[in-house]
Amino acid sequence: MATKQAGLVCLTYILFMLLFKSYSGLIRQTTIKDTFLIGVTDAAAFLVLCLITICSRKFGWDQFFNISMSILMIHFVTLTVSLIFFRVTIKMFYSYIFILVPSSKRKNVLIYGSGETGIIVKRVIESDSKSEYQLKGFIDDNVLLQGKKLDGYPVYSQSVLTKEFIEEEDINVFIFAINNLPAEKKKEVLEYVMNLGLEILDTPSFDKWLNGTLQMKQLRKVQFEDLLGREPIKLDLKRIDEGLKNKTILVTGAAGSIGSEIVRQLTKYHYKQLVLIDQAETPSFYLNNELKDKFPGCQYELVIGDVTNEPKMDHIFNKFRPEIVFHAAAYKHVPIMEANPHEAFRVNVGGTKIISELAMKYHAEKFVMISSDKAVNPTNVMGASKKVCELLVQAQARRYGTKTQFITTRFGNVLGSNGSVIPLFKKQIAEGGPVTITDPEITRFFMTIPEACQLVLEAGFMGNGGEIFIFDMGKPVKILDIAIKLIRLSGLKPYEDIEIKFVGLRPGEKLYEELFATSEHQLKTHNPKISIARVAEADYELILPKINLALDTIYEKSGTEVVEAMKEIVPGYVSKYASVQ
């Protein structure tokens, strides 16, 4: 009988273990939650067995169900203590083995943040027997925690971060483990830690963890974007969604840096269909794969085509009848366009003319053009071509009878775009240098690609037609400072490990960029990150003949003559163009 009763007890405990899955946690990563689950499982099984025994005695069931209460109690206590002791022992064994690994093979780590995320990062480091990191302590701004120990590790204030402390404790790595840290505060801490020469890692937000679990490989190096200190943009999502709802949206330059991010942003809304145009085959191939993999429900049509091919563009507009047009197709690299003014004018101006006129012909509701800060007081071919585009779009907006709302968005450099300074510097650093900079005093405005494209959508449904919306780019940043920070983020020392070389300004390049011309007045909008530039009205009847004449005879002109044609359209264009025949 005793053997049968033992079988009943074991079966009951096994059933509750299967029910609560108390066996599923990795033993070497045991936490309080795991031990609590063991207690709950055993307590549930114990109570059910006690209930069976009580019912057996009350209703005269078979002696098989009448188990001694004292035995049940002893079994419950012994089993629970044994299981917890076993798990704790295994965990301590792994911790001991981890400690035995020669410290010379591991990097000493400080974790910034002793909250839940910080504790998780600590457990991830300790649970990996092959980890190259060894925790030395936490940094936390909470004065109530400073000076205390957390899981056996000291909690310091930020004031201990001195060169003397770093050298004394042999700290090599600094890990951010606070996801809700204000951007300005994060920037401040980052810049301070960078100067100490530490490798800096960041913990991804919870939604990016693999199956809800953080892994060591997910700790990424801090990006330059984190040094901008910009708070997240607040958008009028309702206005944007209403503007895009059930609409066919056409995006030119869809495979480029800005165009592809506009497409990603659009996938969040309730549009009818996306029509994506780009002439570059390989980037279009990658965009197509990304949309299939990451946005499987996205309704889109990818078309290879040149925006200056009017019959092709007419066919696309006629077929899809887009209600919203985002025109991002353009040549953008200043030195390349300076040497190729014919193509700058033909593609940037000619493409804008064709797409804007087709938008009117097929009664599109909105036409949103992406411009550049280089269009302000232009000194190069690329900037002048974009200024011509701005004037053309403004003129289209004022044409008699047009129902299409023409919007222009103007902003500066975007971080990480194809051919931009950040990827170039990273490549040069990876190759051992030198990092080349045109001038030690050169500055530029920067924002991230997602920021820029979010504001493009916001501005697109803010305007009524004819406005030039200017984005708040923050303060201009010295290119030299960017180079120095990127070198330090790579764990290297500027001028020592990586040479910085100044090569002089390129043709048409400014020392600094502007977002507003001196003749433009800044008007505020409800979004503090978007302003309107009030400019003199552009006369379509005056501008169009000059544009048409330049386009019709573009290859009959020399480079100098193309530049002169742009000067006739753009007042104040001061060219340093060096004729390339």
Query: Domain map of the chain by residue range?
Result: 2-100, 104-222, 237-569
- Report the amino acid identity of residue 199: E
CA–CA separation, 103 vs 107, rounded Å? 8
Two tokens, residue 441:
């005093």
Per DSSP, helices labelled H in 327-414 are 334-338, 341-343, 350-361, 381-397
| Max mean pLDDT range (180-184, 220-224, 424-428, 577-581) | 424-428
- Report the amino acid identity of residue 279: Q
Q: Which CATH number fits domain 104-222: 3.40.640.10, 1.10.3720.10, 1.10.540.10, 3.40.50.720?
A: 3.40.50.720
Q: What does the mean pLDDT of the chain come to?
A: 82
CA–CA separation, 559 vs 234, rounded Å? 44
Contact residues for 196 (Cβ-Cβ < 8 A; gap 6+) = 161, 163, 166, 174
Lowest mean pLDDT among 208-222, 295-309, 512-526, 561-575: 208-222
Instruction: Give the number of C-alpha atoms closer than 13 A to the C-alpha of residue 148, restricted to the C-beta side.
Output: 10
- Band (pLDDT 50/70/90 cuts) for residue 141 is confident
How remote is the C-alpha of 304 from its chain's centroid?
Answer: 27
Q: Tell me the CATH architecture of domain 237-569.
A: 3-Layer(aba) Sandwich (3.40)
Q: What is the pLDDT of residue 581?
A: 39
**What are the pLDDT digits (tens) for 44-67?**
888 888 888 888 877 777 777 777
Two tokens, residue 324:
């919203």
Measure the CA angle with vertex 471, ends 518 and 519; round to 5°: 10
% residues pLDDT > 90 (the chain): 22
Strands (E), 455-554: 468-471, 477-478, 500-502, 521-524, 530-534
Strand duo 413-415 + 446-448: pairing = parallel
Two tokens, residue 495:
């001028």
Measure the CA angle with vertex 419, ends 413 and 420; round to 5°: 30
**Strand, coil or helix: 351:** helix
Q: What are residue 366's phi and psi, to 5 degrees?
A: -140, 145
Q: What is the pLDDT of residue 284?
A: 95
This prediction has a pTM of 0.73
- Band (pLDDT 50/70/90 cuts) for residue 307 is very high
104-222 and 237-569: identical CATH topology: yes
